[in-house]
Structure 1
Amino acid sequence: MAKRKVIISCAITGAIHTPSMSPYLPVTAQEIAESAVGAAEAGAAIIHLHARNPVDGRPDQNPDLFAPFLQIIKQRSDAVLNLTTGGHPSMSVQERIRPAQTFAPEVASLNMGTMGFGLFPMLDRFKDFKHDWEAAALEASRDLVFKNTYADIEHLLATLSPLGTRFEFECYDTSHLYNLKYFLDRGLVKAPLFIQTCFGILGGIGSHPDDIMHMKRTADRLFGDQYQWSVLGAGARQMSIVAMAASMGGNVRVGLEDSLWGGPGRLARTNAEQVATARQIIEGMGLEIATPDEARAILDLKGADRTSI
């Protein structure tokens, strides 16, 4: 019997952490590109991408900021490129969709429900910021709603599905799985679904093992064999969640978007470092990681040659 292949995704920079939190967080196009290529070489089949203003590191959905690093990554790697439609919780859906609409990637992330997205607790751990926007953005999340209404989701699906883009459905709580079932039952999304269950963000489900089991049981009941399951853990429990999910038949996501850490009290210096750790956990269980082309087959993707990158 062929061994199950585990897809490793790597989220390179995201919009949660700010530049002052780690000197290793990629900000410029060159930094993002180099970090992404390194993650792919370490074993990540899927690279999840955000852009930042190269001057102050602020999250930015301008497609012109995506183009330079997308071109470099595509030239130097065959990894599947997954573009955010989440952007930053403070952005409108019209702003968030622009990169995916421009580049028609193989995969785009899609947040499956409106929620609180509390980043302000990080102000208890980080005190010194290089840029004025950093502390202000964290504090603003105390009174911020991350808007992903049914109309927003329908707009994203109607815009990107005709481009052949498929979705990483980001589900931060049980209700998001039920929202996805609603869209599946109405034929607006199709199997195989790529479901990323997200743990440890304030406003979503926690990161206790019972939470992971609950999300997996719910997804199994709602979707049966129509989905591929993946997990991400925010913060210090990233790798313990990787281990638990891999042992339960899941795929995994790591990266500096989700956690800045390489070990207790030690910042990860690269995304590749986290990918290598996840790979060691997976292969230590006697499992194999998926290549980019194997991930394309598992997720029924259109192929890199059919994007506009």
Structure 2
Amino acid sequence: MADKTIISCAITGATHTPTMSPWLPVTPDAIVRQAIDAANAGAAILHLHARDPLTQRPTGDLDIWFDILRRISAETDAVLNMTTGGSTYMTIEERLTAPLAASPELCSCNMGSMNFGTYMMIEKYRGKWVNDWEEEYLEASRSAIFRNTFADIETIMSKLGEGGTRFEFECYDVGHLYNLAHMLDRGYVKLPMFIQLIVGTLGGIGPGPENLMFMKETADRLFGKDYRWSVLAGGRHQLNMGTMAATMGGNIRVGLEDSLYAGRGRMAQSNAEQVGLIRNVVEGLTMDIATPDEARAMLGLKGRDKVKF
């Protein structure tokens, strides 16, 4: 399976707001439907956030989370990857309530505190808001910190790790890789690691081949061959950075959490559309995509029979 490529799809996230795209899934029903379609299109891993059906805001509500998880798992065998990031405005306790109760196979784990700026999107949508909360929500990122202290990271790894959950380590900058190495040295990390190299987020390292190469070379120096890696690129950089990752032997994350587009000036009408685009790239390079069970074996996951939902 060394030559198989894992496609992850991040279905909704906490960055984009309902006004930005009519195809962004902002209710549990829409999240479930689009997640299943993305899996059918070839995504082995589904990265999930929950949204409140009434307000359309990101939520940590346990009942909403379990409804989403159970309905998706009833229709697909994809790996369900729950966020522990939640949103910038949630406490660590709010972010962990649902993952600790569900004990999924895989969770994201952000490897450092950072500025996570989304306020720059306000001008594009000013006066067009679908919901009253959206502008204030984006503006708040100007003065907020996306908190992931060493204590927070220790809590996430130790508490979820007790139930056998493994992690997608989200690294938005080079320093996050060094934080991960620190946690590995202290025994918090189990091998093999799955590292998400993230480029193009305001507050993290910028996009571009040079930055991706630097992140990858740094990971190689720190971890040798003891890890698998994937690339997440924000906005218009999603497909070109994903293509670069495929040619370098990496894995790829797409999804409406990270980009609302399916090409220059063309909005994606579903998560499945983005999965289909990158699948065509991978297969056009004469590579095979990994099935969910192959991804489980490659990442050392505990299996879907050991979750609590």
Distance 2:120 2:240 in 1: 22
Q: Normalised by the size of structure 1, how large is the TM-score?
A: 0.98
Distance 1:262 1:209 in 2: 20
Q: Does 1:298 align with 2:304?
A: no
| 263-272 vs 288-297, greater mean Cα deviation | 263-272
C-alpha displacement of 1:125: 2.1
Residue in structure 2 matched with residue 51 of structure 1 by the alignment: 50
Residue in structure 1 matched with residue 181 of structure 2 by the alignment: 181
Aligned-partner SS, 1:295: helix
> Is residue 28–residue 52 contact of structure 2 (8 Å, CA) maintained in 1?
no
Distance 1:126 1:11 in 2: 23
Distance 2:81 2:21 in 1: 24
CA RMSD between the two structures? 0.9
> Is residue 42–residue 276 contact of structure 1 (8 Å, CA) maintained in 2?
yes
Residue in structure 2 matched with residue 160 of structure 1 by the alignment: 160
Q: What CA deviation, in whole Å up to 9, does each residue of 1:194-220 have, x standing for no partner?
A: 000111111000111111000000001
Q: What CA deviation, in whole Å up to 9, does each residue of 1:173-199 have, x standing for no partner?
A: 000000000011111111100000111
Distance 2:77 2:27 in 1: 21
Residue in structure 1 matched with residue 256 of structure 2 by the alignment: 256
Residue in structure 1 matched with residue 19 of structure 2 by the alignment: 20
Q: Does 1:105 align with 2:129?
A: no
Residue in structure 1 matched with residue 193 of structure 2 by the alignment: 193
Please show how residues 37-116 of structure 1 align to structure 2 within 5 Å: 37-116=36-115
- Amino acid corresponding to residue 257 of structure 2 in structure 1: E
Distance 1:82 1:270 in 2: 19
C-alpha displacement of 1:132: 1.5
C-alpha displacement of 1:56: 2.1
- Amino acid corresponding to residue 109 of structure 2 in structure 1: L
> Is residue 3–residue 288 contact of structure 1 (8 Å, CA) maintained in 2?
no
Q: Normalised by the size of structure 2, how large is the TM-score?
A: 0.98
Distance 1:241 1:125 in 2: 25
Q: What CA deviation, in whole Å up to 9, does each residue of 1:81-125 have, x standing for no partner?
A: 000000001111111011110100000000000100000111132
C-alpha displacement of 1:3: 6.1
- Amino acid corresponding to residue 202 of structure 2 in structure 1: L
Distance 1:289 1:92 in 2: 36
Residue in structure 1 matched with residue 202 of structure 2 by the alignment: 202
| 116-125 vs 34-43, greater mean Cα deviation | 116-125
Residue in structure 2 matched with residue 147 of structure 1 by the alignment: 147
Q: What CA deviation, in whole Å up to 9, does each residue of 1:236-289 have, x standing for no partner?
A: 111001101110110000000000111211111110000000100101111100
> Is residue 44–residue 78 contact of structure 2 (8 Å, CA) maintained in 1?
yes
Residue in structure 2 matched with residue 34 of structure 1 by the alignment: 33
Residue in structure 2 matched with residue 274 of structure 1 by the alignment: 274
Residue in structure 2 matched with residue 136 of structure 1 by the alignment: 136
Aligned-partner SS, 1:101: helix
> Is residue 46–residue 79 contact of structure 1 (8 Å, CA) maintained in 2?
yes
Aligned-partner SS, 1:191: coil
Aligned-partner SS, 1:187: coil
Residue in structure 1 matched with residue 287 of structure 2 by the alignment: 287
Distance 1:9 1:63 in 2: 24
- Amino acid corresponding to residue 155 of structure 1 in structure 2: T
Residue in structure 1 matched with residue 120 of structure 2 by the alignment: 121
CA change 1:307–1:3 in 2 (3 A) is: closer
- Amino acid corresponding to residue 209 of structure 2 in structure 1: P
C-alpha displacement of 1:27: 1.5
For structure 2, the residue ranges without an aligned partner over 5 or more in a row are: none
Residue in structure 1 matched with residue 9 of structure 2 by the alignment: 10
Distance 1:26 1:105 in 2: 22
CA change 1:3–1:181 in 2 (3 A) is: closer
Distance 1:242 1:202 in 2: 19
Aligned residues: 308
- Amino acid corresponding to residue 19 of structure 2 in structure 1: S
Distance 2:61 2:167 in 1: 20
- Amino acid corresponding to residue 20 of structure 1 in structure 2: T
Task: State the identity as a percent.
Answer: 55
